[in-house]
Structure 1
Amino acid sequence: MPSLQDWLSRLEQLHPSEIELGLERVASVADALGIQKPAPTVITVAGTNGKGSCVATMEALLCKGGRSVGAYSSPHLLRFNERVRIGGEEVADKDLVLAFEAIEVARGETSLTYFEYTTLAALWLFQRAGVEFALLEVGLGGRLDAVNLVDADLAIITSVAIDHEDWLGSDREIIGREKAGVLRAGAPFVCADSNPTQSVLSAAEKLSSSSYFMGQDFSLNLGEGKKELYRFGELELAIPPISLPRPSIAAGITALALLNVLPQGGIESALAEIALPGRCQQVQWQGCNLLLDVGHNPAAAEHLAKWLADHPVDGETHALVAAMADKDLVGLFAPLRDVVDAWHPAELPGNSRAASGETLLEGLAAAGVEATNANSRCPSVADGLQQLLPTIGPQDRLLVFGSFFTVAEVLQQMRDEGNGELRG
């Protein structure tokens, strides 16, 4: 029997550009598997940023309330299994293999992409486990994403910003229209974007029986002490300080409130226990304070900049950055100018999409910042860590960001050495 790694190696060879776009193919396979309704209640989450945080919020609260829940998110950092969780736990290799085998039989001659295979696997596993709730994170866009083969009982859009221009375009209205493709007629809709596009508003007016908007119908703002105060109608909750984006947290709570499935108690502890790797993740490693963030677009950089400003250190903040060449590098760096003291660009060897050291330097210069090690660019993230960690003082902070690949390298090295410690 092929192992999970055998399956993944095979799926990684698939080329989506050679496969016809649209949902017809993947929907036909889902129909053959009988998984187009993987759970009694399906919540679909689309958005440029904050999707994973929203899913994690709902997953934590549903588990706290004793509900059975399946969560599907992407991409993963270290293990493919991170993408599919049941009851808050990653599914086992053997279960993923069973899912892929079932899909292989059902698809016949139908071609599928990597993401379509993995989406079908998640749906198959959720139905097999008999979960009450399926939380589905859109991979890219919304309208034509494989997740959208399932009719959502409630849809969420976390944000509409510029990213993946090659696929989605560089206009927020067009991007919003794609993301609004997850809405369904008569189903509630929650929007965490405080400045929704007209395309989203129009879709909500046309399709949704009831729509709820951040800042208008629900909110999450600084309350007494360090806690956040969530408000939705007569519902008020004190939320502990956590690093996830406020709008995503608020949207997740609102969705569960609309479905009347918020836990009766333990909301604060459930949220405080959420640990989403690579999202303003604080780590102590080799005596140094690290902050790991997968942010890779301007909107994510703005959130990161605010977090850094809200959590100052007595010393300096150094940034070790590696990013993809197709990203808006100026937009990624510019929001961080005033909160980063020293910049260290690094390359990602072996990744054909990664920006070269020279490209990163050009992006930094265009953003109005100067790389600290301009004459000795880091050939890899690992080399950057080796150079920087001995120089980071106890009052300093090392920010590592720019892509999922960047953060994954750090987490993998920490796992291999076994001496990292989460700080919150």
Structure 2
Amino acid sequence: MSKIPATLPEWLALLETRHSKEIDMGLERVASVKKRLDIEFKCPVIMVAGTNGKGSTCAMLEAVLLKAGYRVGLYSKPHFLDFNERARINGENVSDQVFIDTFAEVEVKREQTSLTYFEFTTLAICKLLADANLDVVILEVGLGGRLDAVNVIDADVSIVTSIDIDHIEYLGDTREKIGFEKAGIFRPGKSAICGDPLPPQSLIDHANAVGADLWLFGRDFNYNGDKQQWNFAGRTQRRNSLAYPSLRGANQLLNASAVLAALEALRDVLPVSAQEVRTGLVMVDLPGRFQVMPGRPTVVLDVAHNPHAAATLSQNLDNMGFHAYTYAVFGSMLDKDIEGVVEQLKGKVDHWHVCDLPLPRAASAEQLKEKVIAAGALVDLEKTVATYNSPEEAYADAMSKAGENDRIVVFGSFLTVAGVLRARRSALH
């Protein structure tokens, strides 16, 4: 490469166009560059995989460990507005300059090895976190587990949040196949926590085969609660009278339980008090996960993009109380089970605003419209579906039509939520 980019946007533009495939499964190339970069973590590493709930679980871990006074590094993805959201140190996004310097280092050390955008940026973020003198690092897996670039790191505790059908072309078309891929992050002799109440047998078998210390929900840890508070019970540790996490939604106690199981597994090296758990869970903040925005009409942002997540979103909408009409702003990748998502939400939505997204592998607004109609979402004359060139356009039209007692639900791809967040941000300035 002749010229090293001088800014972060220039770097990202280069990385997006360099490798022939957006996703190129396999760890050999990443592992070779990791070795040359000498990436070594001198603190505990917690790795989080799963179909849904990864981001929430990482955010809760970060919030509780920060509250306990630890220096915490976090790698999460994708980002909404700024690439810097992907790497955080002590709750703050990493600066452009740190990324630029680390990208330059990876560029030199990769030599002739071809890396995808995701592989290159994963190595850079692991390198900067490994060098940041931290007490604990949380790494979110991108796709699957076994062959994901993050899995070149050996975790001290691995969490699999949930297992459902998604990314079929890479991970397989059954929960058993996908469970095996997710279990690929488990390590011999290390704690492996599964927060899914019905884990596939393949995950249990793989954990046993590699000699991981498997924690199963319902056997090794569980929770119970009433309307005011909830309690966690682990193998040797109980946490009672906990406030509900500030992240709203039906599955957040499952995610929070997996978090507390991971903290129990690390209690000798990273002790956390009951009060730090309470405060951390109440303080946790994560955009786009059943995020209810202030003001009227009610606006809900949710990155639900598969049927499992859409079912949870549907349940959460039911718990919100009465709204006269519900407008949906919906954009999706074409490789998703769009019919399955619409099926979960069609009874909740009156007016569909479907939109194009700025990626070649996105479904077009016309394709989404066809699928909404085919799913029987327009059962009466009151219901409508309209197409838009972008999430921003779809959202602007929904806002112009919705009354103050209505609600607008923005869901689907991260890009759908990001477009609306960008529109809201520019409206404030």
Aligned-partner residue type, residue 303 of structure 2 = V
Tell me the equivalent position of 1:422: none
Tell me the equivalent position of 1:247: 254
Match of 1:66 among 66, 69, 94: 69
CA contact (8 A) 1:188 1:208 kept: no
Match of 1:368 among 368, 373, 376: 376
Q: Using a 3 Å threshold, how does the CA distance of structure 1 residues 390 and 345 change in structure 2: closer, same or farther?
A: closer
- Asked whether 1:218 is paired with 2:221, we answer yes
Q: Using a 3 Å threshold, how does the CA distance of structure 1 residues 318 and 376 change in structure 2: closer, same or farther?
A: closer
Tell me the equivalent position of 1:34: 38
How do residues 7-406 of structure 1 correspond to structure 2 at under 5 angstroms?
7-17=11-21, 21-35=25-39, 37-223=40-226, 225-233=227-235, 234-237=237-240, 238-241=242-245, 242-243=247-248, 245-260=252-267, 261-264=270-273, 265-284=275-294, 287-338=296-347, 340-370=348-378, 374=384, 376-406=386-416
Report % sequence identity: 40
User: What's the secondary structure of 1:160's corresponding residue?
Assistant: coil
Q: Using a 3 Å threshold, how does the CA distance of structure 1 residues 99 and 212 change in structure 2: closer, same or farther?
A: same
CA contact (8 A) 1:401 1:407 kept: yes
2:314 and 2:176 mapped to 1: Cα distance?
25
CA contact (8 A) 2:331 2:356 kept: yes
CA contact (8 A) 1:313 1:397 kept: no
Displacement of 1:20 in angstroms is 6.6
| TM-score under structure 1 length normalisation | 0.92
User: What's the secondary structure of 2:292's corresponding residue?
Assistant: strand
2:53 and 2:365 mapped to 1: Cα distance?
28
Displacement of 1:236 in angstroms is 2.5
- Asked whether 1:408 is paired with 2:415, we answer no
1:277 and 1:344 mapped to 2: Cα distance?
22
2:78 and 2:20 mapped to 1: Cα distance?
16
User: What's the secondary structure of 1:156's corresponding residue?
Assistant: strand
CA contact (8 A) 1:324 1:353 kept: yes
Displacement of 1:239 in angstroms is 3.0
Q: Using a 3 Å threshold, how does the CA distance of structure 1 residues 307 and 88 change in structure 2: closer, same or farther?
A: same
Aligned-partner residue type, residue 231 of structure 2 = L
CA contact (8 A) 1:19 1:111 kept: no
Unaligned runs of 5+ in 2: none
Segment of structure 1 superposing worse, 4-13 or 20-29: 20-29
Aligned-partner residue type, residue 43 of structure 2 = P
2:357 and 2:22 mapped to 1: Cα distance?
26
Displacement of 1:16 in angstroms is 4.9
Displacement of 1:89 in angstroms is 0.9
1:365 and 1:262 mapped to 2: Cα distance?
53
Provide the aligned C-alpha RMSD in A: 2.0
User: What's the secondary structure of 1:220's corresponding residue?
Assistant: strand
